Amino acid sequence: MIVTVRLYATLRDLTPDRKGVVELSLPDGSTVAVMIARLGIPPGVVRKVFVGGIAQEESHVLQPGDEVGVFPPIAGGAPGMMAARRTLTMKLKKGVRQMVDEAKARITTLSLEEARARHGKDDVVFVDLRDVRELERDGMIPGAYHCPRGMLEFWIDPESPYHKEIFASGKEFVFYCNLAGRSALAADVARQMGLERVCEMGGGFAAWQGAGFPVAERPRRRPA
């Protein structure tokens, strides 16, 4: 099976082109631990692994087509402090994994091929929900409209002083983030607020980029 792995920060140096994206062939039923070993990453170097935008343990079994993000330890963290933080637990009524799963059950998720077919159509707007630093570092889908996730509700609401007219255009909105976690929550919120033609792009920007689809630099603002 094939999985797409995106390595972050110092882990990018493990890829030949240092871009950090690897199409990895693994035996069916492989776990995250097997994937890490196949990548040649030494023990203790990986801090977090996200599969489809959801944090997973090394025992998690991967599926064909999974989009995986691998993160190194936080720079400057003292081992004792990190260990102490891991012992602190906070009981939540609902965790982010459950929230994303529930959101995905209520929204429409497009495959990469379906999203690619919609790209460039006059009545479709791709909405990039990532942080501006992600756009500057990795680029974005050409023609996408950048709406930081933290401003989405305020930009949608016509009674908000921050309202953006594009969200009242009646067009279809395809939300995407990096690994399709934020986009699921955003599409669900937009649907609840009343946007009827809204969906998310499965796999996120990492999958789009990994598939070799078009990527553009973030447009620069013109000087006033």
Residues contacting 224, CB < 8 A, separation 6+: none
Residue 176 in domain: yes
Q: Are residues 37 and 132 in the same domain?
A: no
Last residue of a domain, one of 89, 107, 125: 89
Residue span of the structural domain in which 108 resides = 98-210
- CATH number, domain with residue 79: 3.10.20.30
Residue 179 in domain: yes
| Single pTM value for the model | 0.63
* Contact indicator for 77, 46 with CB cutoff of 8 Å: no
The dihedral built from the CA positions of residue 50, 51, 54 and 55, taken in this order, carries a sign that is negative
- CB-facing half-sphere around the CA of 136: CA atoms within 13 A: 5
Residue 156 in domain: yes
Amino acid letter, residue 32? V
pLDDT band at 18 (very low <50, low <70, confident <90, very high): low
Q: How many domains does the chain have?
A: 2
Tens digits of residue pLDDT in 67-77: 888 887 754 44
Burial (CB count within 10 angstroms: exposed 0-12, middle 13-18, buried 19+), residue 188: buried
